[in-house]
Chain A
Amino acid sequence: MTTLAEGVAGAGSVAPRTPVRAGRRRSGAWRFAVLVLLGLYFLIPIAASVWFTVRDRGRGGVTFQHYVEIPGTEGFTAAFTRSLGLAGLTVVIVLLLMVPTVVLVDLRLPRLRTTVELLTLTPLVLPPIALVVGVRSVLSWAPDYFLNTPLADAFFALQEPSLPWILVLVYVVLALPFVYRALDAGVRGADLRTLTEAARNLGASWPRVLVSVVLPVLRTSVLNAAFLTFALVLGEFTIAAILGFETFPTWIVRISGSAPQLSVAVSVLSLVVTWMLLLLISALDRRRGTKESS
């Protein structure tokens, strides 16, 4: 299970310097072929999508009309801001839940490590659609069994269409594997035990240790985890669609029938923007890495 998840969250990890062996040029040919073929496979759809959206069918030539139209399209603002809100809330909750747990397990409860690891990695293989069918069943208890109790009111409040908290709560589960991997890598890389023991020996209190030692050490991992979670929530379709809420991805699918070019434009834009952000974060990550010559 560990190797299975090794590196799923590794987008921003700092790579070791692998010395390149001299000679053995013969094998360069297949590498080149792989890079070219797969490069074409990955670039053609993106290029074709861009062409699909900027081509002016009426007059010929190039138009950016479909990109300009995005902000004004019916439903975009609501769906996109809702998705941003859900993503922000998910990031906050998953970090509040996981940072203390990972640190605690590493420092004081190493015996629980396997259990925590197993539980956090389960959502990686558990089909989200199966999870959401189960969540739907639980939610249907409110009208079936708990009607006119505070619990039912709480269930209904979770399903408020303008800000569906139930999505946040389920997204936290989906984000667990990525967040755990990122934080665990940070904790392992930092030798937290020695650092905290040093701080404790110097007379720092536990809260003080957490704030001035643990959090700064984990800064990059936390940033990584937060970004992965954010991207995950912005792109998540299954849970929102099955529970019947409109988020950014379900909105794209809904408008695709009436505005095919617009839906492709939004898709390409969201992919490229997310990629740029990730590149930026990995660049920051590396600069920090070299500065501290780790």
Chain B
Amino acid sequence: MERGDVRLTTDPAPAVAPAPRRRGRRGRALSYLGALPFFLYVAVFLLLPVGVLAVEAFRATDPVTFEETWSTDSIMAITGGAYRRAYLGSLELSVITAVLGAVLGLALAVAVLRARRGRLLRRLVLTASGVLANFGGVPLAFAFLATIGNAGVVTALLTDTVGLGGFSLYSLAGLALVYLYFLIPLMVLTITPALEALRPQWREAADNLGASGWQYWRYVGGPVLAPPVIGATMLLFASAFAAYATAKALVGSSVPLVTLQIANALSSNVIVGSENLGKALALGMVVLIGLVMAFYAWVQRRTQRWLS
């Protein structure tokens, strides 16, 4: 644990001891050769597909001659109409669920970590979070369908007892409810290490100096937690923005979401050039995420400067 503590206050640069160099330059070259498979793999299976996306989004297929040309038609098409709505819908859903998920996940993580005799509870919550956050959206979608879908158990219960039927699972609000089911666990997993790194001594020191609980969080806990909380919220945003399985299994394609539009564009064999449209939409997603991450990096640098 001491290791984790140190990283909070100092730069994470590892203390590099001068390695014994017996083989000099040749050994070094050999080491680089050992790292080559990794870089090759990433180049072929991560960078190449994204690069191809960036190029082929600017290609167009002529509907008559099937000739390929350079064109910005697809890029133009995705900035308006249904596609624009899809981007906005995705952004709205991801921002709302990311913020809600971050707040609720943080609350849950704090509550679990501080619980008395909570070792079992904590292990249960952490492992359950691992499953819900990583296992994927299809099982979750079906669990919610069985609960508050049209024929769901709770739906039946509510309509029978209160006569309530206003809420629809097949809407943005319904999707948000399901998204939180994997975003809150993701927040718990991501923020728990940062919470564990908050040393109880800091709280004791603040208490001894006469600080109130609010003052502790305002001047000590808050500033230390801010960077990891912002980072985790970004991760939640990216995760909600990219979610496809849950939406597909729940609503088919009746809700404006960009992931659903991409899948539609790819599966449509009728319209020539819809493949290029799918690439343009996907490229748009990458660019948006890139912008958000650049903003995040900027914020992170700012907060770090403010902390030091």
Q: A-side interface residues toward B, CB under 8 Å?
A: 1-8, 10-13, 15-16, 18-21, 24, 27, 30-32, 34-35, 38, 41-42, 44-46, 48-49, 51-53, 97-98, 100-101, 104-105, 107-110, 112-113, 116, 119-120, 122-138, 169-170, 172-173, 176, 178, 188-189, 193, 197, 200, 228, 231-232, 234-238, 241-242, 249, 252-253, 256, 260, 263-264, 266-268, 270-271, 274-275, 278-279, 282-283, 286
- Picked from B38, B127, B278, the residue with its CB within 8 Å of the CB of A116 is B38
Q: Please report the C-alpha to C-alpha distance between residue A105 and residue B37 in the assembled complex, in whole angstroms.
A: 13
B residues whose Cβ falls under 8 Å from a Cβ of A: 1, 3, 12, 14, 16-17, 19-20, 27-28, 31-32, 34-35, 37-39, 41-42, 45-46, 48-53, 56, 104, 107-108, 110-116, 122-124, 126-140, 142-147, 151-154, 180-181, 184, 186, 189-194, 196, 200, 203-204, 213, 227-228, 231-232, 234-235, 238, 241-242, 244-245, 248-249, 259, 262-263, 266, 278-279, 282-283, 285-286, 289, 293, 296-297, 300
* Beta-carbon contact of B151 and A260 below 8 Å: yes
8 A-B pairs with CB atoms under 8 Å apart are A13-B193, A35-B111, A45-B144, A48-B152, A48-B153, A134-B51, A188-B3, A268-B139
Nearest A-chain residue to B186, judged by Cβ: A8
Q: How far is the CB of A125 from chain B (nearest CB, A)?
A: 4
Chain A residues contacting B235 (CB-CB under 8 Å) are 4-5, 8, 124-125
Q: Which of A108, A109, A270 has the most CB of B within 10 A?
A: A108
Which of B31, B41, B46, B127 sits near A97, CB closer than 8 Å?
Answer: B41
Residues from chain A with Cβ under 8 Å of B234 in the complex:
4, 125
CB distance from A60 to the nearest CB of B (A): 14
**Are A97 and B289 in contact, with the CB atoms below 8 A?**
no
The answer to whether B142 touches A131, judged by C-beta atoms less than 8 angstroms apart, is no
Question: Do the beta carbons of A253 and B249 come within 8 Å of each other?
Answer: yes
Are A238 and B139 touching (Cβ within 8 A)? no
Tell me which residues across on chain A come within 8 A of B153, comparing CB atoms.
48-49, 51-52
Leading 3 A-B pairs by shortest Cβ distance: A134-B49, A235-B136, A11-B130
A44 to B152, CA, bound (A): 12
B286 touches A127 (CB 8 A): yes
For residue B16, which residues in chain A have a CB less than 8 angstroms away from its CB?
110
Chain B contact residues: helix, strand, loop or mixed: helix
Additional pairs, 17, CB under 8 Å, beyond known A134-B49, A237-B136, A237-B138: A7-B192, A18-B200, A27-B213, A35-B112, A42-B128, A45-B144, A45-B147, A48-B143, A104-B34, A113-B14, A132-B49, A197-B20, A235-B139, A241-B245, A249-B245, A266-B139, A267-B142
Distance A48 CA – B134 CA, assembled complex (angstroms): 22
Cβ–Cβ contact A126 & B289, under 8 A: yes
Q: Are A21 and B193 touching (Cβ within 8 A)?
A: no
Residue contact B248 to A170, C-beta cutoff 8 Å: no
Given A48-B154, A268-B139, A31:B110 Cβ within 8 A: yes
Partner pick for A137 among B12, B42, B52, B126, CB 8 A cutoff: B52
**Are the C-beta atoms of A130 and B139 separated by less than 8 Å?**
no
Query: Contact between B146 and A278 (Cβ–Cβ < 8 Å)?
Result: no
Cβ contacts under 8 Å, A13 to chain B = 193
Q: Which residues of A contact B262 (CB under 8 A)?
A: 129-130, 133
CA distance A282 to B138 in the complex (A): 25
Closest to A125 in B: B238
Q: Are B3 and A238 in contact (CB under 8 A)?
A: no
CA A6 to CA B283, docked complex, whole Å: 27
Contact of B139 among A131, A173, A260, A270 (CB under 8 A): A270
B143 near A45: Cβ-Cβ < 8 Å = yes
A270 CB to closest chain B CB (Å) equals 6
